[in-house]
Structure 1
Amino acid sequence: MRETGVTVAITPMIVPEAPDAANAAGFRAMVGVRNRVSSALFGADALDATAEQVLPTWTEQTDMALHGWLVRAEDEVVGRAVVDFPREVGSRRATIRVEVVREAWGRGFGSEAMAFAEDRVRQLGRSVLQAMTVHPAGAEPSLVPRSGAGTVPEDRFSRFMLSFGYTLEQVYRISALDLTRPIDGFDALLAGAREASGDYRYVSWTSPTPDEWLDDYAWLKSRMSTDAPTADMEMDEEAWDGGRVRRLEEVFARSGRSRLVGAAQHVPSGRLVAFTELSSFRVPGKPIDQDDTLVLKEHRGHRLGALVKCETLIRARELFPEGERILTGNAEENRPMLAINEAMGFAPTRYIADWQKTV
């Protein structure tokens, strides 16, 4: 229940034209909440983003719609509610993020914001509601997702989602690779991948994507929505073309984020058939993020996942020397990719629970 005697207001967040615009105070407060919550959940791996870095994601909504609200207790912004949903025709789903700063936990603000966000999602015509929660590694496991792979603790975050009728569908493992020390077995892993991938060659680039790879890269991005393990989470087949790739690259450039892409080309056909992405804000001591990684189903069995991950790691150490570790996330049922990560030396740091309900 919400704490009595406290006036709570949930108000729309205005997306300003610039982070220093006259109407940008609410946006900057939202970024402040994002940073405080991220620090509480991710510790040293959290990055304090600036309003300048966050704004490009909110102003480019061609492919994904974003709605935001501020949670105010008295005159203080203590939380935020964010709803995003894809613009693919026929899509039914929306993702809800409700975040409240630690100092305001246990006062009912999160419950009020979740009820508010769910009501807005219904008004937007979406019937499949999705959300995620973050849990520490090493916590006592007790909840098993419907996928049957992995566990998360029945902590305050899980209980919150269960109280709103969500089902735990899938668990993602977040793992870190320490780049400050030698990686045992790396050379053997890379040599084995190179030997097994005789009909393929490794290519890489930093954004923007060269024109010769643009269409293939867009096709690979679209296949992420159909070929990656998603358990029973409803997913839309995303439509990617060169224009969508360029829009994403522009968002990265405007936010000061660098991206390195490594891919495997099938030499007989000339097509790209596997890829991985690393991105970084180039902040010393902060992690490099491993974003999408995929091997097309029809080209699996040639150790292409190990090839692109190992080769791209070599390039990342040259391009992002300030990065001390890499963070990556994989579904617990994705044993082939987890096996590669484990062989490279990635170790679990936390888990992400994917929740879903239909209304």
Structure 2
Amino acid sequence: MSFFGPRDVARAAVRGRWSGLEIRRLTPPERLGTPESAAFEELVGVLNGIVYQLWGDDDFVETAEEALAGLREQDYLEKIVLVAVEEGAIVGRVEADFPLDQDAETVSLLVDVVPALRSRGIGSALLAAGEELAAEGGRTVVSAYTEHPVRSLPEEGAWVHAPAGSAGLPAEDPGVRFALRHGYRLGQIERSSELVLPLPPVRAVALASTAATADGYRVVSWFGAAPDDLLDSFAALKERMVVDVPHSGIALDREAWTGDRVRAQERELAARGEPLLVTAAQCEASGDLAAYTEIAVPADGEKAEQYDTLVAADHRGHRLGTLVKLHNIHELARCAPHITRLLTWNADENAPMIAINRAFGFRPHALTGTWQKRLG
């Protein structure tokens, strides 16, 4: 399904306002290493340079193969990439991610500009082109994001706060100023946290003691693909992720999850070389899955990323968050002993999950701002 044809988006208008700059739609190539893939591979290199300058390491650097795999599965999330080209070189991009669920009203825009070329209108041009895509696609809520490594946060100064939570983003940060200048409102802050593995023995024993109080539940784990007999129950639990997580300050679309959608996500992550390691808690009385946590596990490197962690609302208060996280970390040590760092993200107002992370020994890594704007 696609809202858009192959034509360019308001090219003449963009060129008229930002002289010498072109905004072009980038079509993902069928194969890499071909003349048709040159622009895509150039974009991957540009984005990796931006990432490295922001974070100071290669934690979020992607290979062209990984980036291409992330664009191929578009049955549930359509991803449209526009690039800014100046003097024949790619200098930025906006990726518009359109959830394709029925009644979806949001779109997410990822805007990046080469650092040395910022403050010249390139980001504004890309944002305008992304918002035009959103309007053409009938979306009324646009989300954008700013990322703030802990090492970059000032010790004092003015802060911008979301409606909920205690964290704030520095008001003088260029990304913050850019979002505010273009009419976006800070809706939520996510805390990124890092855990060094393996767990110290004393901490592991204390966590195991807490997890042992989860009576009436058993754990089940899988790597890469959910068991067929748990597929529908797992899909039903993933559908609750948007419903049960804190999101009072931002608009989120409901997501319909089926077994087919779970399999599509598994295919995408396997193609990226980061299959999911999942541990779920199963209610012994009903057989339903009550909680789960996921880790995307790369074949090499030392860093892995924790994706969803959810305890269904009617099963909370039984230490299931600790149970599934601890068991998944044990499974991670067994199947991927090369992983020595784990990153996770939580809404700033999600105090229960943040408390669990602190008990594991997670330490602050970064803040991510979710900014939203209503069109029309």
Q: Which amino acid in 2 is paired with 1:48?
A: V
Distance 1:203 1:94, change over 3 A: same
Which residue identity does 1:343 align to in structure 2? Answer: A
Matches within 5 A, 1:15-26: 15-26=28-39
- The letter of the residue matching 1:117 is G
Q: Residue type matched to 1:342 in 2?
A: R
TM-score (normalised: structure 1): 0.94
Please say if residues 104 and 254 of structure 2, whose CA atoms lie closer than 8 Å, have aligned partners that are also in contact: no
State the percentage of identical aligned residues: 37
Pairing 1:19-168 to 2, within 5 Å after superposition: 19-44=32-57, 46-137=59-150, 139-140=153-154, 142-154=159-171, 155-168=173-186
Q: Do the aligned residues in 2 keep the contact of 1:183 with 1:344 (CA within 8 Å)? A: no
Give runs of aligned pairs for residues 220-239 of structure 1, distance below 5 A: 220-239=237-256
User: Alpha carbons of 1:148 and 1:251: their partners in 2 closer, same or farther (altered >3 Å)?
Assistant: closer
Matches of 1:243 and 1:26, distance apart in 2 = 32
What do the CA deviations read for 1:241-261 (whole angstroms, capped 9, x no partner)?
111111111111222112100
CA deviations on 1:292-336 (whole Å, 9 max, x unpaired) are: 000000000000001000111111112111112000000011010
Contact kept? 1:184, 1:345, Cα under 8 Å: no
Q: Which residue of structure 2 aligns with residue 356 of structure 1?
A: 372
* Alignment of 1:329 onto 2:345: yes
Check the 8 A contact 1:149/1:170 in 2, yes or no.
no
Alpha-carbon offset, residue 90 of structure 1:
1.3
What is the identity, as a one-letter code, of the residue corresponding to 2:348?
E
Is residue 2:257 matched to residue 1:240?
A: yes
Q: Which amino acid aligns with 1:135?
A: H
2:206 matches 1:193: no
Q: In the TM superposition, what is the alpha-carbon distance from 1:232 to its structure 2 partner?
A: 2.4
Matched letter for residue 106 of structure 1: S
Take 1:320 and 1:148, find their aligned partners in 2: how far apart are those partners?
34
The answer for the alignment partner of 1:290 in structure 2 is: 306
Q: 1:216-239, CA deviations, whole angstroms, 9 ceiling, x for partnerless residues? A: 111111110111111221111111
Cα offset for 1:96?
0.7
> 2:297 matched to 1:280?
yes
**Secondary structure of 2:56's aligned partner:** helix
TM-score (norm 2): 0.90
Cα distance between partner residues in 2 of 1:348 and 1:100: 26
Task: Tell me, in whole angstroms, the C-alpha distance in 2 between the residues paired with 1:168 and 1:16.
Answer: 35
- Which consecutive unaligned segments of at least 5 residues does structure 2 have? 1-14
Q: Distance in 1 between matches of 2:18 and 2:310?
A: 52
Report the secondary structure of 2:349's partner residue: coil
Deviations 1:49-103 (A, max 9, x none): 1221121221211001111011112111111110011111111110011101222
Q: Is the 8 A contact 1:190 1:311 kept in 2?
A: no
Q: Which moved more, 1:293-302 or 1:223-232?
A: 223-232
In 1, are the aligned partners of 2:219 and 2:324 still within 8 Å (CA)? yes
The answer to whether the 8 Å contact 2:145/2:369 transfers is yes
Per the alignment, residue 271 of structure 1 pairs with: 288
Residue 39 of structure 1: how far off its partner (Å) = 1.6
Letter in 1 for 2:160: L
Q: What is the deviation of 1:181? A: 6.4
Q: Secondary structure at the match of 1:322?
A: coil
Taking the aligned partners of 1:122 and 1:21, their CA distance within structure 2 comes to: 34
The size of the alignment, in residue pairs, is 355
> How many Å separate the matches in 2 of 1:69 and 1:243?
29
The alignment partner of 1:23 has SS state of helix
> Is the 1:262–1:275 Cα contact (8 Å) retained in structure 2?
yes
Unpaired runs of 5+ residues, structure 1, are none
Distance 2:297 2:147 in 1: 21
Q: Which moved further from structure 2: 26-35 or 327-336? A: 26-35
| CA root-mean-square deviation | 1.8
Q: Deviations over 1:96-149 (max 9, x none)?
A: 111012222232211221122112211221110111110122623611112243
Q: CA deviation at 1:185?
A: 2.1
